[in-house]
Protein backbone atom coordinates (compact mmCIF):
# COMPACT_ATOMS: atom_id res chain seq x y z
CA UNK A 1 0.00 0.00 0.00
CA UNK A 2 1.09 3.58 -0.59
CA UNK A 3 1.29 5.10 2.88
CA UNK A 4 -0.37 8.50 3.24
CA UNK A 5 -1.69 10.71 6.01
CA UNK A 6 -4.42 13.32 5.90
CA UNK A 7 -3.34 16.95 6.16
CA UNK A 8 -5.76 19.87 6.48
CA UNK A 9 -3.50 22.48 4.93
CA UNK A 10 -1.32 25.27 6.34
CA UNK A 11 -3.50 25.75 9.44
CA UNK A 12 -3.29 22.08 10.47
CA UNK A 13 -1.48 21.77 13.82
CA UNK A 14 0.20 18.66 12.35
CA UNK A 15 2.98 19.92 10.09
CA UNK A 16 4.15 18.41 6.84
CA UNK A 17 7.51 17.53 8.35
CA UNK A 18 5.69 15.71 11.18
CA UNK A 19 3.86 13.60 8.60
CA UNK A 20 7.07 12.80 6.79
CA UNK A 21 8.78 11.80 10.05
CA UNK A 22 5.78 9.57 10.85
CA UNK A 23 6.73 7.50 7.80
CA UNK A 24 4.16 8.53 5.20
CA UNK A 25 5.33 9.27 1.67
CA UNK A 26 2.25 11.25 0.59
CA UNK A 27 -0.42 13.46 2.06
CA UNK A 28 -4.10 13.41 1.29
CA UNK A 29 -5.58 16.91 1.32
CA UNK A 30 -7.87 19.45 -0.34
CA UNK A 31 -8.26 23.17 -0.89
CA UNK A 32 -10.37 23.53 2.23
CA UNK A 33 -10.62 27.30 1.83
CA UNK A 34 -12.53 27.00 -1.49
CA UNK A 35 -16.31 27.12 -0.84
CA UNK A 36 -18.43 24.17 -1.95
CA UNK A 37 -19.51 24.52 -5.56
CA UNK A 38 -16.68 26.86 -6.59
CA UNK A 39 -14.01 25.95 -9.14
CA UNK A 40 -10.61 24.82 -7.93
CA UNK A 41 -8.11 27.09 -9.68
CA UNK A 42 -5.06 25.53 -11.35
CA UNK A 43 -2.68 27.98 -9.73
CA UNK A 44 -4.02 27.24 -6.24
CA UNK A 45 -3.73 23.47 -6.78
CA UNK A 46 -0.21 23.79 -8.16
CA UNK A 47 0.85 26.07 -5.30
CA UNK A 48 -0.39 23.62 -2.69
CA UNK A 49 1.29 20.73 -4.49
CA UNK A 50 4.60 22.64 -4.57
CA UNK A 51 4.34 23.32 -0.84
CA UNK A 52 3.84 19.60 -0.20
CA UNK A 53 6.68 18.61 -2.55
CA UNK A 54 9.04 21.00 -0.77
CA UNK A 55 8.50 18.91 2.38
CA UNK A 56 9.51 15.76 0.48
CA UNK A 57 5.98 14.41 0.14
CA UNK A 58 3.65 13.62 -2.76
CA UNK A 59 0.00 14.52 -3.37
CA UNK A 60 -1.99 12.27 -5.69
CA UNK A 61 -5.26 11.82 -3.73
CA UNK A 62 -7.74 14.61 -3.03
CA UNK A 63 -9.97 14.35 0.00
CA UNK A 64 -12.39 15.82 -0.74
CA UNK A 65 -13.78 17.65 -3.75
CA UNK A 66 -17.12 18.40 -2.12
CA UNK A 67 -20.46 17.87 -3.82
CA UNK A 68 -22.78 20.86 -3.30
CA UNK A 69 -26.13 20.23 -1.62
CA UNK A 70 -27.95 21.54 -4.72
CA UNK A 71 -26.42 18.65 -6.65
CA UNK A 72 -27.56 16.16 -4.02
CA UNK A 73 -31.12 17.52 -4.11
CA UNK A 74 -31.08 18.20 -7.88
CA UNK A 75 -31.76 21.86 -7.14
CA UNK A 76 -32.22 24.75 -9.58
CA UNK A 77 -28.48 25.53 -9.72
CA UNK A 78 -27.57 21.97 -10.76
CA UNK A 79 -26.29 22.77 -14.28
CA UNK A 80 -23.93 25.51 -13.12
CA UNK A 81 -22.60 23.45 -10.22
CA UNK A 82 -22.02 20.41 -12.44
CA UNK A 83 -20.11 22.66 -14.86
CA UNK A 84 -17.94 23.90 -12.00
CA UNK A 85 -17.27 20.36 -10.82
CA UNK A 86 -16.22 19.28 -14.30
CA UNK A 87 -13.86 22.26 -14.62
CA UNK A 88 -12.33 21.48 -11.24
CA UNK A 89 -11.66 17.94 -12.45
CA UNK A 90 -9.93 19.31 -15.54
CA UNK A 91 -7.72 21.55 -13.39
CA UNK A 92 -6.97 18.76 -10.91
CA UNK A 93 -5.87 16.38 -13.66
CA UNK A 94 -3.68 19.09 -15.19
CA UNK A 95 -1.76 19.18 -11.91
CA UNK A 96 -1.04 15.44 -11.93
CA UNK A 97 -3.51 14.32 -9.26
CA UNK A 98 -5.23 11.02 -10.06
CA UNK A 99 -7.78 10.16 -7.33
CA UNK A 100 -10.65 12.40 -6.17
CA UNK A 101 -12.60 11.48 -3.04
CA UNK A 102 -16.15 12.73 -2.45
CA UNK A 103 -19.25 11.72 -0.51
CA UNK A 104 -23.00 11.92 -1.12
CA UNK A 105 -24.22 12.23 2.48
CA UNK A 106 -26.99 14.82 2.89
CA UNK A 107 -25.95 17.89 4.91
CA UNK A 108 -23.73 16.21 7.50
CA UNK A 109 -20.43 14.54 6.77
CA UNK A 110 -19.11 12.11 9.38
CA UNK A 111 -20.95 12.47 12.69
CA UNK A 112 -19.92 11.78 16.29
CA UNK A 113 -21.45 12.66 19.66
CA UNK A 114 -18.29 12.60 21.82
CA UNK A 115 -14.86 13.78 20.70
CA UNK A 116 -12.96 12.78 23.84
CA UNK A 117 -14.24 9.40 25.03
CA UNK A 118 -11.81 8.08 27.70
CA UNK A 119 -10.25 4.72 26.92
CA UNK A 120 -8.95 2.34 29.61
CA UNK A 121 -5.33 3.29 28.81
CA UNK A 122 -6.01 7.03 29.21
CA UNK A 123 -6.18 7.85 25.50
CA UNK A 124 -9.20 9.66 24.08
CA UNK A 125 -11.36 8.30 21.25
CA UNK A 126 -14.25 9.47 19.09
CA UNK A 127 -17.64 7.95 19.90
CA UNK A 128 -21.18 7.84 18.48
CA UNK A 129 -24.25 7.22 20.63
CA UNK A 130 -27.66 6.97 19.03
CA UNK A 131 -29.42 8.00 22.24
CA UNK A 132 -27.33 11.20 22.28
CA UNK A 133 -28.41 11.90 18.69
CA UNK A 134 -32.03 11.33 19.73
CA UNK A 135 -31.65 13.66 22.72
CA UNK A 136 -30.36 16.41 20.45
CA UNK A 137 -32.88 15.70 17.69
CA UNK A 138 -36.00 15.61 19.90
CA UNK A 139 -35.20 18.07 22.69
CA UNK A 140 -32.62 20.55 21.35
CA UNK A 141 -33.13 20.65 17.58
CA UNK A 142 -36.85 19.87 18.03
CA UNK A 143 -37.21 18.51 14.52
CA UNK A 144 -40.90 17.96 13.72
CA UNK A 145 -41.95 14.32 14.13
CA UNK A 146 -38.40 13.30 15.12
CA UNK A 147 -39.84 10.77 17.60
CA UNK A 148 -41.02 8.63 14.69
CA UNK A 149 -37.40 7.76 13.78
CA UNK A 150 -36.50 6.12 17.11
CA UNK A 151 -37.76 3.08 18.97
CA UNK A 152 -39.31 3.36 22.42
CA UNK A 153 -36.17 2.28 24.28
CA UNK A 154 -34.02 4.89 22.52
CA UNK A 155 -36.58 7.63 23.18
CA UNK A 156 -36.76 6.69 26.85
CA UNK A 157 -32.96 6.74 27.15
CA UNK A 158 -32.81 10.07 25.30
CA UNK A 159 -35.36 11.62 27.65
CA UNK A 160 -33.37 10.53 30.71
CA UNK A 161 -30.16 11.78 29.15
CA UNK A 162 -31.57 15.20 28.27
CA UNK A 163 -33.08 15.63 31.74
CA UNK A 164 -29.62 15.15 33.28
CA UNK A 165 -27.77 17.47 30.86
CA UNK A 166 -26.62 20.95 31.86
CA UNK A 167 -26.90 23.89 29.46
CA UNK A 168 -23.18 23.57 28.79
CA UNK A 169 -23.51 19.86 27.99
CA UNK A 170 -26.41 20.60 25.64
CA UNK A 171 -24.32 23.21 23.85
CA UNK A 172 -21.34 20.85 23.58
CA UNK A 173 -23.49 18.08 22.11
CA UNK A 174 -25.05 20.51 19.62
CA UNK A 175 -21.66 21.82 18.50
CA UNK A 176 -20.19 18.31 18.25
CA UNK A 177 -22.96 17.11 15.94
CA UNK A 178 -23.53 20.10 13.63
CA UNK A 179 -20.61 22.54 13.92
CA UNK A 180 -18.51 20.54 11.46
CA UNK A 181 -15.77 18.03 12.24
CA UNK A 182 -12.41 18.09 10.41
CA UNK A 183 -12.99 17.65 6.69
CA UNK A 184 -16.73 18.22 7.00
CA UNK A 185 -18.36 20.09 4.18
CA UNK A 186 -20.88 22.14 6.14
CA UNK A 187 -21.33 23.81 9.53
CA UNK A 188 -24.69 24.86 10.96
CA UNK A 189 -26.53 26.39 13.85
CA UNK A 190 -29.60 24.42 14.92
CA UNK A 191 -32.05 26.83 13.19
CA UNK A 192 -29.94 26.66 10.01
CA UNK A 193 -29.84 22.87 10.25
CA UNK A 194 -33.63 22.67 10.55
CA UNK A 195 -34.06 24.83 7.44
CA UNK A 196 -31.50 22.73 5.55
CA UNK A 197 -33.35 19.53 6.47
CA UNK A 198 -36.52 21.03 4.96
CA UNK A 199 -34.76 21.14 1.57
CA UNK A 200 -34.71 17.32 1.69
CA UNK A 201 -38.45 16.99 2.42
CA UNK A 202 -39.08 15.41 -1.00
CA UNK A 203 -35.80 13.48 -1.21
CA UNK A 204 -36.19 9.90 -0.07
CA UNK A 205 -33.60 7.14 -0.50
CA UNK A 206 -34.67 6.31 -4.04
CA UNK A 207 -34.53 9.92 -5.16
CA UNK A 208 -31.16 10.51 -3.47
CA UNK A 209 -29.82 7.41 -5.22
CA UNK A 210 -31.13 8.70 -8.56
CA UNK A 211 -29.52 12.09 -7.92
CA UNK A 212 -26.23 10.36 -7.13
CA UNK A 213 -26.43 8.44 -10.41
CA UNK A 214 -27.25 11.66 -12.30
CA UNK A 215 -24.21 13.36 -10.78
CA UNK A 216 -21.92 10.50 -11.80
CA UNK A 217 -23.39 10.27 -15.29
CA UNK A 218 -22.61 13.97 -15.69
CA UNK A 219 -19.02 13.93 -14.39
CA UNK A 220 -17.68 10.41 -15.02
CA UNK A 221 -17.23 10.84 -18.79
CA UNK A 222 -14.98 13.83 -18.07
CA UNK A 223 -13.08 11.86 -15.42
CA UNK A 224 -12.74 8.91 -17.83
CA UNK A 225 -11.14 11.15 -20.46
CA UNK A 226 -8.79 12.70 -17.88
CA UNK A 227 -7.70 9.38 -16.35
CA UNK A 228 -9.12 10.35 -12.96
CA UNK A 229 -10.84 8.00 -10.51
CA UNK A 230 -13.72 9.38 -8.46
CA UNK A 231 -13.97 7.41 -5.21
CA UNK A 232 -17.07 7.69 -3.05
CA UNK A 233 -16.67 7.61 0.72
CA UNK A 234 -19.29 5.46 2.47
CA UNK A 235 -21.85 6.98 4.81
CA UNK A 236 -20.60 7.62 8.35
CA UNK A 237 -22.49 6.32 10.25
CA UNK A 238 -23.96 3.98 7.63
CA UNK A 239 -27.64 4.51 8.38
CA UNK A 240 -30.14 7.40 8.17
CA UNK A 241 -30.00 10.14 10.81
CA UNK A 242 -32.20 13.20 11.37
CA UNK A 243 -34.71 11.83 8.88
CA UNK A 244 -32.16 12.14 6.07
CA UNK A 245 -31.58 9.17 3.76
CA UNK A 246 -28.19 7.58 3.24
CA UNK A 247 -27.55 5.37 0.24
CA UNK A 248 -23.83 4.40 0.37
CA UNK A 249 -23.94 2.16 3.43
CA UNK A 250 -23.85 -1.47 2.31
CA UNK A 251 -22.31 -3.73 -0.30
CA UNK A 252 -25.65 -3.83 -2.10
CA UNK A 253 -25.68 -0.01 -2.23
CA UNK A 254 -22.23 0.00 -3.81
CA UNK A 255 -22.91 -2.86 -6.22
CA UNK A 256 -26.06 -1.04 -7.41
CA UNK A 257 -24.14 2.19 -7.90
CA UNK A 258 -21.43 0.50 -9.96
CA UNK A 259 -23.99 -1.37 -12.04
CA UNK A 260 -25.94 1.79 -12.82
CA UNK A 261 -22.80 3.81 -13.62
CA UNK A 262 -20.24 1.34 -15.02
CA UNK A 263 -17.70 4.00 -16.08
CA UNK A 264 -14.17 3.04 -15.12
CA UNK A 265 -13.81 6.31 -13.17
CA UNK A 266 -16.65 5.40 -10.80
CA UNK A 267 -14.77 4.04 -7.80
CA UNK A 268 -14.75 3.46 -4.07
CA UNK A 269 -12.91 4.87 -1.09
CA UNK A 270 -13.00 1.75 1.05
CA UNK A 271 -13.41 2.98 4.64
CA UNK A 272 -13.20 0.00 6.96
CA UNK A 273 -14.44 2.10 9.87
CA UNK A 274 -17.56 3.50 8.24
CA UNK A 275 -18.58 0.22 6.63
CA UNK A 276 -17.56 -1.71 9.75
CA UNK A 277 -20.18 -0.03 11.93
CA UNK A 278 -22.64 -2.45 10.32
CA UNK A 279 -22.14 -6.05 11.36
CA UNK A 280 -23.79 -7.17 8.10
CA UNK A 281 -20.95 -5.71 6.00
CA UNK A 282 -18.36 -8.42 5.26
CA UNK A 283 -15.28 -6.21 5.00
CA UNK A 284 -12.66 -8.68 3.65
CA UNK A 285 -15.27 -10.06 1.23
CA UNK A 286 -16.08 -6.56 0.03
CA UNK A 287 -12.40 -5.96 -0.77
CA UNK A 288 -12.39 -9.18 -2.81
CA UNK A 289 -15.67 -8.53 -4.63
CA UNK A 290 -15.37 -4.76 -5.18
CA UNK A 291 -11.59 -4.62 -5.44
CA UNK A 292 -11.37 -3.38 -9.01
CA UNK A 293 -13.34 -0.28 -7.91
CA UNK A 294 -11.19 0.54 -4.86
CA UNK A 295 -8.91 3.53 -5.47
CA UNK A 296 -8.26 4.62 -1.89
CA UNK A 297 -8.27 2.97 1.53
CA UNK A 298 -9.20 4.32 4.96
CA UNK A 299 -8.00 1.71 7.42
CA UNK A 300 -9.46 2.03 10.92
CA UNK A 301 -11.59 -0.11 13.17
CA UNK A 302 -14.62 0.61 15.32
CA UNK A 303 -15.86 -1.24 18.37
CA UNK A 304 -19.59 -1.76 18.09
CA UNK A 305 -21.58 -1.29 21.29
CA UNK A 306 -25.21 -2.04 22.25
CA UNK A 307 -28.08 0.17 21.04
CA UNK A 308 -26.37 1.55 17.94
CA UNK A 309 -23.34 3.05 19.67
CA UNK A 310 -19.73 2.61 18.58
CA UNK A 311 -16.31 4.09 19.28
CA UNK A 312 -13.01 4.25 17.42
CA UNK A 313 -10.86 1.29 18.45
CA UNK A 314 -7.14 0.90 17.91
CA UNK A 315 -6.28 0.20 14.28
CA UNK A 316 -5.70 -3.51 14.88
CA UNK A 317 -8.43 -3.89 17.50
CA UNK A 318 -12.20 -3.54 17.40
CA UNK A 319 -14.56 -5.43 15.12
CA UNK A 320 -12.91 -4.88 11.73
CA UNK A 321 -10.65 -7.98 11.52
CA UNK A 322 -7.89 -5.82 10.09
CA UNK A 323 -5.59 -8.79 9.42
CA UNK A 324 -8.14 -10.29 7.01
CA UNK A 325 -8.79 -6.90 5.39
CA UNK A 326 -5.10 -6.21 4.76
CA UNK A 327 -4.60 -9.77 3.49
CA UNK A 328 -7.43 -9.18 0.99
CA UNK A 329 -5.88 -5.84 -0.01
CA UNK A 330 -2.47 -7.48 -0.49
CA UNK A 331 -4.00 -10.17 -2.70
CA UNK A 332 -5.81 -7.49 -4.72
CA UNK A 333 -2.61 -5.51 -5.26
CA UNK A 334 -0.71 -8.62 -6.35
CA UNK A 335 -3.52 -9.59 -8.70
CA UNK A 336 -3.79 -6.15 -10.32
CA UNK A 337 -0.15 -5.08 -10.09
CA UNK A 338 -0.75 -1.80 -8.27
CA UNK A 339 -0.21 -0.11 -4.92
CA UNK A 340 -3.38 1.40 -3.43
CA UNK A 341 -3.10 4.66 -1.46
CA UNK A 342 -3.95 4.09 2.21
CA UNK A 343 -4.20 6.29 5.23
CA UNK A 344 -4.63 5.37 8.91
CA UNK A 345 -7.85 7.03 9.99
CA UNK A 346 -9.11 8.53 13.25
CA UNK A 347 -6.29 7.75 15.64
CA UNK A 348 -6.66 8.07 19.40
CA UNK A 349 -5.49 11.26 21.07
CA UNK A 350 -2.66 9.99 23.25
CA UNK A 351 0.70 10.70 24.91
CA UNK A 352 1.94 14.27 24.31
CA UNK A 353 -1.00 15.02 22.00
CA UNK A 354 -3.28 14.98 25.08
CA UNK A 355 -1.85 18.38 26.00
CA UNK A 356 -1.74 19.82 22.47
CA UNK A 357 -4.30 21.50 20.25
CA UNK A 358 -5.42 18.84 17.76
CA UNK A 359 -8.15 18.24 15.21
CA UNK A 360 -10.53 15.58 16.61
CA UNK A 361 -9.50 12.20 15.24
CA UNK A 362 -6.46 13.67 13.50
CA UNK A 363 -3.82 14.08 16.17
CA UNK A 364 -0.37 12.93 15.06
CA UNK A 365 0.74 10.26 17.52
CA UNK A 366 -2.36 8.07 17.39
CA UNK A 367 -2.27 8.03 13.60
CA UNK A 368 1.49 7.40 13.59
CA UNK A 369 0.88 4.39 15.83
CA UNK A 370 -1.80 3.19 13.42
CA UNK A 371 0.42 3.70 10.39
CA UNK A 372 3.26 1.73 12.02
CA UNK A 373 0.90 -1.11 12.98
CA UNK A 374 -0.63 -1.28 9.51
CA UNK A 375 2.80 -1.16 7.84
CA UNK A 376 4.02 -4.04 9.99
CA UNK A 377 0.86 -6.02 9.35
CA UNK A 378 1.12 -5.61 5.58
CA UNK A 379 4.80 -6.54 5.50
CA UNK A 380 4.19 -9.59 7.64
CA UNK A 381 1.39 -10.73 5.34
CA UNK A 382 3.52 -10.07 2.24
CA UNK A 383 6.40 -12.10 3.69
CA UNK A 384 4.10 -14.98 4.63
CA UNK A 385 2.46 -15.05 1.20
CA UNK A 386 5.86 -14.97 -0.51
CA UNK A 387 7.07 -17.88 1.63
CA UNK A 388 3.96 -19.90 0.78
CA UNK A 389 4.46 -19.30 -2.94
CA UNK A 390 8.08 -20.37 -2.72
CA UNK A 391 7.11 -23.58 -0.95
CA UNK A 392 4.44 -24.28 -3.56
CA UNK A 393 6.93 -23.76 -6.38
CA UNK A 394 9.64 -25.92 -4.77
Domains and CATH numbers, the chain: 2-110+205-393 (3.20.20.150)
Q: Say whether pLDDT at 345 is over 70.
A: yes
Catalytic annotation, pick one of 102, 235, 269, 298:
298
383 given a catalytic annotation: no
Catalytic annotation, pick one of 68, 315, 330, 346:
346
* Of residues 183, 132, 176, 152, the one with CA closest to residue 310: 132
Catalytic annotation, pick one of 114, 345, 348, 353:
345
- For 11-26, write each residue's pLDDT tens digit: 999 999 999 999 999 9
Whether the CB-CB separation of 272 and 298 falls below 8 Å is answered with yes
**pTM, entire model:** 0.96
Q: Say whether pLDDT at 123 is over 70.
A: yes
346 given a catalytic annotation: yes
Whether the CB-CB separation of 242 and 112 falls below 8 Å is answered with no
Catalytic annotation, pick one of 102, 150, 200, 362:
362
Work out whether the CA dihedral 338, 341, 345, 347 comes out positive or negative.
positive
348 given a catalytic annotation: no
Whole-Å CA distances, 3 to 147, 262, 323:
44, 28, 17
What pLDDT score does 14 carry?
A: 97
Q: In the structure, what pLDDT confidence band is assigned to residue 179 with cuts at 50, 70 and 90? A: confident
271 given a catalytic annotation: yes
362 given a catalytic annotation: yes
Amino acid sequence: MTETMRWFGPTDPVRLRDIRQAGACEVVTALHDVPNGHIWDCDAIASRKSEIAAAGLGWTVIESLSVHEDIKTRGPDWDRLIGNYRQSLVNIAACGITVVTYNFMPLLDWTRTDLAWPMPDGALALRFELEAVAAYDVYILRRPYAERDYDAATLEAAARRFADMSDEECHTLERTIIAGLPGSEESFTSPEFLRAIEAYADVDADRLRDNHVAFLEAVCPVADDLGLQLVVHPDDPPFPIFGLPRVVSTEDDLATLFARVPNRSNGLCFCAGSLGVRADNDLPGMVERLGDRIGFLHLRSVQREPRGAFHEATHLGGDANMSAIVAAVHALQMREGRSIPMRPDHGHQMLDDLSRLTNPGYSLIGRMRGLAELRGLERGIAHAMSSIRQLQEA
